[in-house]
A and B are shown apart, each in its own frame.
Chain A
């Protein structure tokens, strides 16, 4: 699986959009970009994933650059409950190599 690079931490104000960047310059054509988050003392939670088109669900939006070498997770209206470690992961979707490998992630702190 391709390696990802994320800043160690960032913060944002409650109610504002949080834009979490991720670099994955060595991503392969069959690898998806996944985002998970881990709130303190809980198991990781899936947020969203995409291949090359932008994606949106009830939790977040995922913007992937045209060359697929980077992406941004957007939480449109961050709340205090969004304070967590966010992991950007690239992986093939199926097959024996489709393991989910976590890096260090980015710690998002939402301030009141």
Chain B
């Protein structure tokens, strides 16, 4: 059963520490999205990749956040240094850009920065 895998599922870290979240898109999918969800802001699009190249990262705070795709099977979202306001659930989704099909979401990483 193909699915998007995110690790870790939960992360608690101290303010100032680096946090790395990982996403394994569904094999063959060439589009990857990163979202952040909080009660106040809802689901916010942070970044959007196609064929491993960033198409849009305008939703991402550039000073502390970075998103990359080292290869087609791995997407990473890093926060350095982390702050309490970064506490949220981070979702990764993948899809196929050549058709009109849906994006498949992972289970998310729940990040708590204390």
Chain A residues proximal to chain B, CB less than 8 Å:
32, 34, 36, 38, 42-46, 49, 87, 93-94, 96, 98-105
Contacts and interface: CB of A to CB of B under 8 A. Distances in A.
Interface in B23-79: 33, 35, 42-43, 45, 48, 50, 55-56
Interface residues of B, number: 23
Contacts of B42: 102-105
B93 A49 contact: no
Contacts of B48: 99
Q: Which among A42, A93, A99 has the greatest number of chain B C-beta atoms within 10 A? A: A99
Interface stretch (B12-20, B80-88, B102-110): B102-110
B107 A100 contact: no
B43 A94 contact: no
A44 B105 contact: yes
Contact of A93 (B33, B45, B100, B105): B100
A102 B35 CA distance: 10
Contacts of A32: 100
Given A42-B107, A99-B56, A100-B33, 18 more contacts: A32-B100, A43-B107, A44-B43, A44-B93, A44-B105, A45-B105, A46-B103, A46-B104, A49-B102, A93-B100, A94-B98, A94-B100, A99-B33, A100-B45, A101-B45, A102-B42, A104-B42, A105-B42
A36 B43 CA distance: 12
A94 B98 CA distance: 7
5 contacts: A43-B107, A49-B100, A99-B48, A99-B56, A101-B45
